Chain A
Amino acid sequence: QQQVKQSPQSLIVQKGGISIINCAYENTAFDYFPWYQQFPGKGPALLIAIRPDVSEKKEGRFTISFNKSAKQFSLHIMDSQPGDSATYFCAASAASGGSYIPTFGRGTSLIVHP
């Protein structure tokens, strides 16, 4: 099965610090890389996404860095806040029958201490 490997499994940072979550993929057909954020008791929600034609995408405090040759991408959360405490999933997908069905990483549990 196609895999997306995500690390670390858990991450603890202090308020104001930088949180970094890394993902690696194998299938070069993947061409859409979303990150989802999940709070307890809620389903995952799209946070930010990138395509391989750019190396970086920034939305507010959240940045995706993408390295196509290494088949790696990462999420950086600048000035991390306690409200960012959640589980983060990277994903990768390719068009299949008109749909992009994502393959998810295992998730990273982020805790931001005040």
Chain B
Amino acid sequence: ETGVTQTPRHLVMGMTNKKSLKCEQHLGHNAMYWYKQSAKKPLELMFVYNFKEQTENNSVPSRFSPECPNSSHLFLHLHTLQPEDSALYLCASSQPGGSSDTQYFGPGTRLTVL
């Protein structure tokens, strides 16, 4: 595997379910991100982890719970979601500390909440 991988690619869940999204990066980066992508809206940054420490939480509802056990893996735990949470959830990684941070994105998980 190369780059940034995400599983599952598609997920359908009910509002009472609990599920987790997984992201793995094979680039040796130290920063990982979760974004939400909805139609006709800008990419919304949800969480940032830098060297496994959470450095950003953009007022994300508590029904989204991130976990970063190491610099290569990032999870997004989901519970009691709402239909408006249906979106494409993108994971990205970057190598901070340089003169620019190129974000390397995974293919995303298409989430549908019924």
A interface residue numbers (CB < 8 A to B): 4, 9, 32, 34, 36, 41-46, 49, 51, 89, 93, 97-107
Contact = CB atoms under 8 A, between A and B. Distances in A.
B42 A32 contact: no
B59 to A, nearest CB: 10
B55 interface: yes
Interface residues of B, number: 27
Contacts of B56: 101
A18 B7 CA distance: 37
B48 A101 contact: yes
Nearest to A102: B103
Nearest to B6: A43
Given A4-B42, A42-B107, A43-B107, A99 B96 contact: yes
A41 B105 contact: no
B107 A98 contact: no
Contact of A89 (B4, B43, B48): B43
Contacts of A103: 42
Contacts of A34: 100, 102
